[in-house]
Amino acid sequence: MNNPESKNKIELLLTEEKIMQRVRDLGAQITADYQGRRLHLVGILKGAWVFLADLVRHIDLEVTVDFLGIASYGAGTTSSGQVKITKDLDQSIEGLDVLAVEDILDTGLTFTYLHKMLSARKPKSLKLVALLDKAERRIKPVQADYVGFTIPDLFVVGYGLDYGQKYRQLRDVCVLHPTPEDAGIATAGQ
């Protein structure tokens, strides 16, 4: 599969149909686990907004939604290891059952930072759902409470994930093989 707007080669990893089925299953599991409770979803920008939009429609509970912008990639296809907040929450999470919604759990550095920062705001509970988990890249010993798919150590785009702000609109999750002239244009993403 090639994207006509780029010379980068992309190949299919997860189809839209497979993703949608797993998102439905995650929504059902989360609904069962939080039955009778109000759930506050915190989408981690920018990569998780597509996943969050689909997931929230499959959670049969009273939910509220907020967003937190975090960047850890900088230029390139690997995490810089440094995390910065690009957009803070709009409301307090104190006393709420919070479910952070991430696109991908990679080294664990971002989630470790995120967990510490959100825990300091005194939620009633705090859990993580990640669409993708690259467990073999883990530096910090963390794991998501809910995982869509465990994937190998590949750079992926689509379904909200980007490379240099491109490819977010793809309905599938694809492996990206950047051309040498494009290697290094990536900004925030995974």
Q: Pick the catalytic residue from 106, 133, 162, 172.
A: 106
Write out pLDDT tens, residues 20-72: 999 999 999 999 999 999 999 999 999 999 999 999 999 999 999 999 998 77
d(CA 132, CA 116): 21
Task: Provide the whole-model pTM.
Answer: 0.86
Tokens of 55: 């997931």
The answer to whether 72 and 114 have CB atoms below 8 angstroms apart is no
Residue 180 contacts by C-beta under 8 Å, 6 or more apart in sequence? none
66 an active-site residue? no
> Going by CATH, does the domain composed of 16-154 fall within 3.40.630.30?
no
- Are 23 and 58 in contact by the 8 Å Cβ rule? The answer is yes
